[in-house]
Amino acid sequence: MKQAPEPELKDYAHRSLYAKPETLDLIREIAFKERVSAQALYREGLFLMLRERGHYKDKTVDDV
């Protein structure tokens, strides 16, 4: 089965994230420990928030 190509950066919208320094430090620490990017954690959080509110029921975190 042929895999779909990875989306390019231009396929995403950009928004700045404002958070307390302690929060951003924790995100960086978790990302390092889990060997993932902070961006992946942000997307996971957005996905969970949207699902909790009844959206993205038929999608995965990769669709965020």
Which pLDDT tens digit goes with each residue over 27-44? 999 999 999 999 999 999
User: Sign of dihedral through CA atoms 33, 34, 37, 42?
Assistant: negative
Mean pLDDT calculated for residue range 5-22: 81
Tell whether the model's pLDDT for residue 4 goes beyond 90: no
Distance of CA 16 to the CA centre of its chain: 13
Predicted model pTM? 0.77
Q: Is the separation of the CB atoms in 31 and 38 below 8 Å?
A: yes
DSSP state for residue 35 in the 8-state scheme:
T
Residue 29: what residue type?
Answer: E
